[in-house]
Amino acid sequence: MSLRTKFILFATVLHVLLAVMAYFLLQENLYLFLGMELLILGSIYITSQLYVTFFKPLSLIRAGIQSIKDKDFSTKFMGVGQKELDELINVYNRMIDQLRHERVAQAEKHYFLEKLIQASPAGILLLGFDNQVEHVNPAAEQYLQQPANSLLGKHVSQLPKVWAEQLTQLQTGSSITFRVNGIRTYRCHRAHFLDRGFQHYFVLIEELTEAILQNERQAYEKVIRMMSHEVNNSAGAVNSILGSLQYYAPQLTDDREDFDNALQVAIDRNTNLSRFMANFANVVRLPKPKKTPTDLHALLRNLALLMQPEFQNRTISCTLQLAPQPLVILLDQQQMEQVLLNVLKNAMEAIGDTGEITIATQTNPAQLTITDTGSGIPESVRSSLFTPFFSTKEYGQGIGLTMIREILVNHGFPFSLESDQEKGVTVFWVRF
């Protein structure tokens, strides 16, 4: 039973009793009856005033509580001329002003933080208590190569393979650095924050690729220039001496053939050494791309025609799956030809004899994909792909992939080399 009901019931019983008393007084004394009637009327008036005095503050409190429950901090009350009630109203109004101010400040901070997260060049993954992805900013979408709607709700172990392996073992408060497909280098840091008394986790993703590439480039440029200078100077002087010795060869009567062969071997080795250093120097001297509008489909058809004799010798079928629409890209044609030739040669070497190479394009987004059915790339070497001068070939120099990386990075084209060794499929793609 509510307090209002109790008060009304009490007042009703009290005045009924007074009315009964008035009835008995009517039998004995008319004047006492009239006095009792006046008393009853006065009591009714006083009771109604007490009712208003007691229950109007309660109505205001109930209305204020409902406003707070509805998160409506704009409703305020006017004074009613009663000292106690006006003090209560003033306290409530000050509280509402403070709540409204804090709510506006919190909303502004939340809006600013949301905009900051969206515009941040660092990738941010907000995780729930069970490591489910709750929010992904655009930078994280770009790094993981997946749209946000395909990532939300997933456990970190369900993220793309390399990311799942690294983030699953990442502990709160620690960082980890790793490579994706041997090309892009990322550093991830896991931390937590409190929201409404609960811990929430987030992963901050920072790409280090450009900084690492710049440091690598500065290091190997200096080393290659120094090596090239020393080797070329020595090789030139030695070749000059060997040439002079060839001039005196006719004066020999015995063992001349052996002498000529020994000189020729020495000259050939010097020439190969100079060519070897020239290949390294070409990476250092790689000019900035001179971009012109280029028909990519025409370029691919010409390269396929150029490589056709070698494809036939190896019993390799090359299939072109070109988009029906023209694909004109702003690029340096000569440098891009070098990239594609290196990729196709690597695909042929991976296949060996008998296999398939598929060259495909699409226009939305503009992308080129080269797929081969070779033996695949071992998991152990994938993280080292595109590392300067790294090679798995017995006599490889590791220049081809380094040059591919430099040219595509200078063009600003994202690229990747992915392989499934179980299926024996390797895919190289470039997005324009």
Q: Tokens in use for 394?
A: 């017995």
Note down pLDDT in tens along the chain; length 432 residues: 666 777 778 778 777 787 777 777 777 777 777 777 788 788 888 887 777 766 666 677 777 777 777 777 777 777 766 777 677 778 778 888 888 888 888 888 878 888 888 888 888 998 887 888 988 999 888 888 888 888 888 888 888 888 888 888 888 889 988 887 667 788 899 998 877 677 888 999 988 777 766 766 666 667 767 776 667 777 777 777 777 776 666 766 566 676 677 777 777 777 777 776 666 666 666 778 888 999 999 989 888 888 888 888 888 888 899 998 888 999 988 888 888 888 888 888 888 888 898 999 998 888 999 998 877 777 666 666 666 665 666 555 566 777 788 888 888 888 888 877 677 788 888 888
Sign for the pseudo-dihedral over CA of 84, 87, 92, 93: positive
SS3 371: strand
Sign for the pseudo-dihedral over CA of 116, 119, 121, 124: positive
Instruction: Output phi, psi for 389, to 5 deg.
Output: 65, 25
3-state DSSP: the chain helix, strand, coil percent, rounded to 5? 60, 20, 25
Residue type, 59: S
Q: Choose among 109, 108, 141, 147: nearest CA to 122.
A: 141
Q: What's the pLDDT score for residue 387?
A: 64
Other beta carbons within 10 Å of 83: 9
Residue 336 neighbours by CB under 8 Å, 6+ apart: 294, 299, 407, 411
Sign for the pseudo-dihedral over CA of 38, 41, 46, 49: negative
pTM higher than 0.75, yes or no?
Answer: no
